[in-house]
Amino acid sequence: MPREAEVTLPHQRIFVAIDTTDLDRAAALAESLVGLVGGVKLGKEFLTAHGPQGARRVAQCGMPLFLDTKFHDIPNTVAGALRAALPLKPRLINVHAAGGAAMMRAAADAAAEAGDDRPLVLAVTVLTSLDDDDLKAIGVTGEVESQVVRLARLAQDNGIDGVVCSAKEVTALRDACGPNFKLLTPGIRPAWSATGDQKRIVTPAEAVRLGSDYLVIGRPITGADDPADAARRIGEELAGNA
């Protein structure tokens, strides 16, 4: 069985998105948030600039890592890439569900090689920057929610532990995939924060009430004048709605 991100307090649901090419800033930011969030998400910008050594540097803060790799390639390549990430001992890692059944099965099997250190493998369904018109433009018929559910079922059928989704799709996903399927929600913005380029967003408290297991919060924390204070405010909001 995979390790699960330990969630015993409301703020531990939060993985803060640290997307920067400044390694010293990333490490310092992670260190400043210890005890205020549940983990750190490192995405393509950071990983492209600094690779595994950079991830190890940030991990020195002691918080769990979510490697936001979004692997999407032929099954053998994705399995090899995921296997190569296992020495970093990520708590969460992800692939694109659009890569198909065989690719997701290969990813799940590769993760299982880590034994007790196996990360949760999540699948990206529909990016939160996309809406119905965006899907239509790339040839996907139907609404976002139906595509999300279709991909989530495919992921679950092929050994994936959960999906990355908008909180607005949580209810439909719970109905489709059951209570134990893990749901990680980006596009989270507290009411006092700017929306940015995300189109399908909710507040942290709303996401938890809907049933999200984990929340990814980036710019409302990392772009704040005082990131630690912003994280504290969000944690208090979650605690007040627990």
Burial of 35 (0-12, 13-18, 19+ CB in 10 A): middle
Tally of CB atoms within 10 A around 204: 28
What per-residue string of b and e applies to 116-155 under the rule 16 or more CB within 10 Å gives b?
eebbbbbbbbbbbebeeeebeeeebeeebbbbbbbbbbbb
182 assigned to active site:
no
Q: What is the dihedral of CA 97, 102, 105, 109, to 10 degrees?
A: -130
| Residue among 41, 44, 70, 182 flagged as catalytic | 70
Dist CA 104 CA 144 (whole Å) = 21
Could you give the dihedral angle defined by the CA atoms of residues 50, 58, 28 and 164, in that order, rounded to the nearest 10 degrees?
Answer: 90
Which of the residues are catalytic?
70
